[in-house]
Chains A and B, each alone.
Chain A
Amino acid sequence: MPTYKAPTREQKFLLHEVLELSRFSELESFKEADPEMIDAILEESAKFSEEVLTPLNRVGDEHGCVRNDDGSVTTPPGFHEAFTQMRQNGWMGLSADPKYGGQGLPGVLGIACGEMTSSANMAFTMYPGLTGGASKAISIGGSDVQKDLYLPKMYTGEWTGTMNLTESHCGTDLGLLKTKAVLQDNGTYKITGEKIFISAGDHDMSDNIIHLVLARIEGGPEGVKGISLFIVPKFTVDADGNVGAANGVTCGSLEEKMGIHGNSTCVMNFDDAVGELIGVEHKGLRVMFVMMNEARMGVGMQGLCQSEVSYQNAVIYANDRLQGRSLTGVKNENGPADPIIVHPDVRRMLMDARAFNEGGRAFLYWLALQEDLEKYSPDEKVRERADDFLGLMTPVIKGYLTDKGFENCVNAQQVYGGHGYIEEWGMSQFVRDARIAQIYEGANGIQALDLVGRKLARNGGRALMGISAEIAAFVKENEGDENLKPFMDGLSDAKNKLQTGTMWLMQNGMSNPDNAGAGSVDYMHMMGLAMLSYMWARMAKVAQTQIDAGTDDPFYADKIITGKYFIARMLPQIDAHLAKLHSGAEPVMALAADRF
């Protein structure tokens, strides 16, 4: 049975020492969040994740969800109770607006807690996660009446939410969607159509489910210019928030999936269901895209989460499993063999995951903090800069963290040898669950296109110039520190290569867009590597300061060792990516389609 221990020491290190949240104590959402409060919240969330959600992870995988004969959907045993506990204890409103009953705490703290619940149980965490996404859309685009009606009950989890975008013939290309909305005399719409892949689409855990549905208003423009966003509750809601009759929304079937079995992924049928328009007609995608940034950060987090939990279990196994002897002589004299953690190749897999987890977590929290700054900073320049970083880095967080996260899950499974392939050990579930994060919420190839095609050039490339300048200043500030030299050298190198790659894209992507397309995933990974180098350099600096001050906590020495591993063994990947980028479209496109 796999286990999970929340990495609260790592989290505290990042929040207090690296990101120094206390710097922002003047900002609205940070006022309450002093270090002691943050620690108390992390510890309690850790306890809940470890003790309640972790044991349900395998249960969810084995039982899955069931669609009953009457069309209702039953979640795995224990999910309902755990969800009730989670929502009654107020966790769903952590960073939500206090005006609607939220706790108004920083989003970065929400990400830290989300990391723990999602490592413990990814499929479970999607129910509150989707509710967060749906309520976010209402808070961005909804009217005051809609906000008053829906947000308080979604922030307490009495009602949950979903996002209904995909149809069988349209995923990435939403312009093709067919679900239609017909205006009624009373100003509401009747929604008819079929949506697929709807996570948390129907279940037995809340009194109502608030579906956010993309549909085309009858007679509206074709393509993406005619898409509107609607609130379609499972049960109708009157003006006072009372739940009434069923609303023509049913789960047609459950998708059979590779992983995340504990989450009910539904085919949803809308038959003349009553819907309310959010925002303006035909402008639904605008709201959707703001919401999607947050969702993409959440999916990036899932990659990190599965990497972390599978790593933890691989470490336990590598210490327990006695097999063969160390290449450099017996290490476990009293045993029949040495634990496999003595073998360099096992180390390689564990260290890859560890260095990624710690660096990736720093990157994720850093970006989550940008969202808080964008939202709460009184300084327009700070807000603009934070918004720039959010735009540029969100596809990188999504694509890079989930690609590497999956790879690490596979490696953790590899550490188990044959047992990794046996379901009982739980490693297979981590691999299967992690896999979806590369696909949904915009496949990683789409993230890479979004990065090179849209985000990079926005505002004349201001975001990339901003982060490059920040990195250059950081390197300069730490010049001459011998202990930090490997980190600063690695970081400078990464920054320069990223710039080289960017220049190449500028020069060659315009003349032949396939050049940009062929190298986009490589470029996304280069940016991921450069950002992890930056995060490792910042973490190393904090750790080195503690070491210089004579700390007796081995945590800091471990940090330097792990960071050096990253620079020595993972960062060099950036050269391969740059070489592939430079090779352009030709090798990729040369073979004629009919010669495949």
Chain B
Amino acid sequence: MKVLVPVKRVLDFNVKVRVKSDQSGVDLANVKMSMNPFDEISVEEAVRMQEAGTATETIAVSIGPEKCAETIRTSLAMGIDRGIHVKTDAEVEPLAVAKILKAIVEEEKPELVLLGKQAIDDDSNQTGQMLAALLGWPQATFANSITKDGDSLTVGREVDGGIQTIKVSLPAVVTVDLRLNEPRYASLPNIMKAKRKPIDAKTPDDYGVDISPRLTTLKVAEPAGRTAGVKVADAAELVSKLKEEGVI
């Protein structure tokens, strides 16, 4: 089974995010960037599938500026076989990403696309679903466990109230959740080997995809700071306050 693993370069989860003064977005200048943590989990799962003999080849894809090659390189150091870097400096929305991935899927013909359920920068949680729809493939989102039997996958999904187990036939799109696995640390020899693994450089044009945004960002603002609370004397006052505020 060939596995495609899209990886996104995002603000490192440790970085304190600052909104640009003109409220056009967040400030990405001179801040540390890393692989989206959910994508690290899909990379780990793909590598484990390969180690278990379930996956025959693993390919990482990243869409974005020059530096995304580093993110691909990180996945190669973890054990992914090769990379495809679709270069663009423009902002790519989930739909554009899904369209590019669809084109890559048609070229590479993987049986499984394994990706993070969402990226920690925009929290869209859309790409996997859109890709499945565009391809007409079954999808299993928020995967907590994945097992392959024959031509299908059994996927445990994290849902409110527990785990839902579903079966999807291959080919399929699976988005992974936090508890699927714990990503490994790349070994030093593998970091060095990653340098020699191939990364194909492409552009959105190569796939004939129009990536122009469909959404307009009006304003990005910091969340309002918490305002001071009030003390209530007893439960009765609390209930009446809550009613006043229209909460209950």
Binds B, one of A39-47, A169-177, A189-197, A342-350: A39-47
A554 in complex: contacting residue of B30, B74, B77, CB < 8 Å = B30
In the complex, the answer to whether A40 meets B185 with C-beta atoms within 8 Å is no
B187 within 8 A of A: yes
B191 in complex: contacting residue of A5, A37, A52, A93, CB < 8 Å = A37
Neighbouring B residues of A25 by C-beta, 8 Å: none
**Most chain B CB neighbours (cut-off 10 Å) among A32, A36, A43:** A43
B162 within 8 A of A: no
**Most chain A CB neighbours (cut-off 10 Å) among B77, B185, B187, B195:** B185
Give the residue name and chain of the A residue nearest to B189 (CB).
Answer: A90
User: In whole angstroms, what is the CA distance A93 to B187 when docked?
Assistant: 11
User: In whole angstroms, what is the CA distance A47 to B30 when docked?
Assistant: 19
In the complex, the answer to whether B30 meets A555 with C-beta atoms within 8 Å is yes
The proximity string for A residues 60-85 relative to B, scoring 1 for CB distances below 8 Å and 0 otherwise, is 00000000000000000000000001
Neighbouring A residues of B185 by C-beta, 8 Å: 44, 47-48, 52, 85, 89
Query: A21 CB to closest chain B CB, in angstroms?
Result: 16
Main secondary structure of the interface of A (DSSP, over half): helix
Give the residue name and chain of the B residue nearest to A39 (CB).
Answer: B70
User: In whole angstroms, what is the CA distance A34 to B189 when docked?
Assistant: 15
User: In whole angstroms, what is the CA distance A39 to B32 when docked?
Assistant: 12
Neighbouring A residues of B73 by C-beta, 8 Å: 36, 40
In the complex, the answer to whether B189 meets A103 with C-beta atoms within 8 Å is yes
Neighbouring B residues of A5 by C-beta, 8 Å: 14
A185 within 8 A of B: no
In the complex, the answer to whether B70 meets A36 with C-beta atoms within 8 Å is yes
Q: How many residues of B contact A (CB 8 A)?
A: 18
Give the residue name and chain of the B residue nearest to A91 (CB).
Answer: B188
User: In whole angstroms, what is the CA distance A103 to B192 when docked?
Assistant: 9
Query: A107 CB to closest chain B CB, in angstroms?
Result: 15
Complex interface residues of chain A between 534 and 587 (CB less than 8 A to chain B): 552-555
In the complex, the answer to whether B191 meets A44 with C-beta atoms within 8 Å is yes
Give the residue name and chain of the B residue nearest to A88 (CB).
Answer: B187
B194 within 8 A of A: yes
B188 in complex: contacting residue of A9, A39, A94, CB < 8 Å = A94
User: In whole angstroms, what is the CA distance A90 to B187 when docked?
Assistant: 6
Query: B222 CB to closest chain A CB, in angstroms?
Result: 15
**Most chain B CB neighbours (cut-off 10 Å) among A36, A44, A94:** A44
In the complex, the answer to whether A103 meets B188 with C-beta atoms within 8 Å is yes
Neighbouring A residues of B29 by C-beta, 8 Å: 552-553
User: In whole angstroms, what is the CA distance A79 to B70 when docked?
Assistant: 31
A40 in complex: contacting residue of B14, B30, B189, B191, CB < 8 Å = B191
**Provided the pairs A5-B14, A103-B192, A553-B30 are in contact, do residues A40 and B70 lie with their beta carbons within 8 angstroms?**
yes
In the complex, the answer to whether B74 meets A40 with C-beta atoms within 8 Å is yes
In the complex, the answer to whether A44 meets B77 with C-beta atoms within 8 Å is yes
Query: A3 CB to closest chain B CB, in angstroms?
Result: 10
User: In whole angstroms, what is the CA distance A40 to B185 when docked?
Assistant: 12
Neighbouring A residues of B30 by C-beta, 8 Å: 552-555
In the complex, the answer to whether A37 meets B195 with C-beta atoms within 8 Å is yes
Complex interface residues of chain B between 132 and 179 (CB less than 8 A to chain A): none
Neighbouring B residues of A40 by C-beta, 8 Å: 70, 73-74, 77, 191, 194
In the complex, the answer to whether A32 meets B192 with C-beta atoms within 8 Å is yes
The proximity string for A residues 22-40 relative to B, scoring 1 for CB distances below 8 Å and 0 otherwise, is 0000000000101011011
The proximity string for A residues 524-540 relative to B, scoring 1 for CB distances below 8 Å and 0 otherwise, is 00000000000000000
B186 within 8 A of A: yes
User: In whole angstroms, what is the CA distance A232 to B100 when docked?
Assistant: 62
Q: Which B residues contact A (CB, under 8 angstroms)?
A: 14, 29-30, 32, 70, 73-74, 77, 185-192, 194-195
Listed by A's residue number, 14 A-B pairs whose Cβ atoms lie within 8 Å are A5-B14, A9-B32, A32-B195, A36-B195, A37-B191, A40-B73, A40-B191, A41-B188, A48-B185, A52-B185, A85-B185, A90-B187, A90-B189, A103-B189
Which 3 A-B residue pairings sit nearest by Cβ, starting from the closest?
A90-B188, A89-B187, A553-B30
Other A-B pairs, 9, CB within 8 Å; known A36-B195, A44-B185: A5-B14, A40-B191, A40-B194, A41-B188, A89-B185, A89-B188, A91-B188, A94-B188, A552-B30
